[in-house]
Chains A and B, each alone.
Chain A
Amino acid sequence: MDRIPILKMGQFLLVTIQVDLYDRLALNLENDLINMVSKTGARGVLIDISAVSIVDSFMGRILGNIASMSRIMDAETVVVGMQPAVAITLVELGLTLQGVYTALDVEKGMELLHDKIGTIEHPEDEEEEAPHDDID
């Protein structure tokens, strides 16, 4: 069965969706991602959808679900790189993804996540957080 890889980057989980999502795949992603959050104790989830050109209301709901579930588990969700056509479609469908943070690209999304969870971050150099910060 197809799966979308979930990468762990320090305190964050990084998901890059490279294919068009069909329903089964989206449900799997939701499952895997939430399990991963609980397993790793991640503080943020970054979903890159820059390669996604087609969305429907189901996809929009899944994104919203992931965000709400992550929030309960104390992780913020940032969706980055949404295509203009996708944004227009979601707005026309009435899905404005309340509660989901958005950013233009992965870099800005990472900055935003650092901002949100309050880790000290120098905007100039992209150094990764020391993982022991929140373990103890």
Chain B
Amino acid sequence: MNNTAQLLQNNKKKILENWMQNQLADEALRDDLISNEELRRQSDELLNGLATATASGNVENTYAPEYETVTEILSDISITRARQGFTPRETGMYVLSLKQAINQVLEEKLSDQPEQLYKELSIINKLLDNLSMITFDTYIKGREEVILRQNDEINEISTPVIRVWEGILALPIIGTLDSARTQVVMENLLLEIVNTGSSIAILDISGVPAVDSLVAQHLIKTVSATRLMGAECIISGIRAEIAQTIVHLGIDLSNIKTKATLANALQLAFSMRGVEVKKTARYTGLNLNK
């Protein structure tokens, strides 16, 4: 057993105390998110794992199998923390305060052997720096999972297909169109065309913040797919700046029917289906009381 491992093993209790003190003294302690007992349990577990791992003699390579338990515990902790809403700083400080605690103990124990102290300090520094890198890695992974899940949820609710008239569907697109979303939009639209037997679909893009060549290509794909099904597609909601970018990018939309507003598109759809909307002589209200 090497020096570092021995030091850790013998002074485990002292280190844990120091560490807990450091954590509790930190202003950023989130006792609203995690209880002190839970924190102590976590810390104890991690310290034990670390002591066992260093006992193998390996104090450098944290990717070695000896460190599997430590990495697992750390990953668990940081993923839970990411989900609970800890900030990166709070998560990072957790591991870094362990370093501080160990260093304090080392200073006490080895104050009469400066050379040894320096060696041990640098070993511990390196080891815990590696561990904090792992923490950050998994923390960010945890956050990304959260973002991905939210993304899925947004995608699910953001593609409604509305039946505005018999045989006419409208599909307001809100937000950026990427490939994955186009796929969802296209599938929903085509399924709805089959289900309702509609022959005209209006794609309203007034909620799309910007149209670049990729988005335009996705729109053209959707229009082509609708056409293959035997329905016509009208694109509406083209704002002035979008018309400008489309022309500047040299995108050819000439064989697609486009209208400035949804109202205009609806009018065109009516005339294509031979439907006429007329004003009656007098506004009669909703007649809810009758």
Contact = CB atoms under 8 A, between A and B. Distances in A.
A119 interface: no
Interface in B159-213: 183, 186-187, 190-191, 193-194, 197-199
Q: Is the interface of B mostly helix, strand, loop or mixed?
A: helix
A84 B229 CA distance: 7
B197 A90 contact: no
Contacts, number: 56
Contacts of A108: 199, 230
Question: Which of A80, A91, A105 counts the most chain B CB atoms within 10 A?
Answer: A91
A28 interface: no
A44 interface: no
Interface in A93-111: 96-97, 102-105, 108-109
Given A84-B190, A84-B191, A84-B194, A91 B199 contact: no
Given A80-B230, A109-B230, A104 B187 contact: no
Q: Is the interface of A mostly helix, strand, loop or mixed?
A: mixed
A17 interface: no
Contact of A104 (B183, B197, B225): B197
B228 A90 contact: yes
A102 to B, nearest CB: 4
13 contacts: A79-B230, A84-B190, A84-B191, A84-B193, A87-B225, A87-B229, A88-B187, A91-B228, A92-B221, A96-B228, A102-B228, A108-B199, A108-B230
Interface of A: 79-84, 86-88, 90-92, 96-97, 102-105, 108-109
Interface of B: 183, 186-187, 190-191, 193-194, 197-199, 221, 224-231
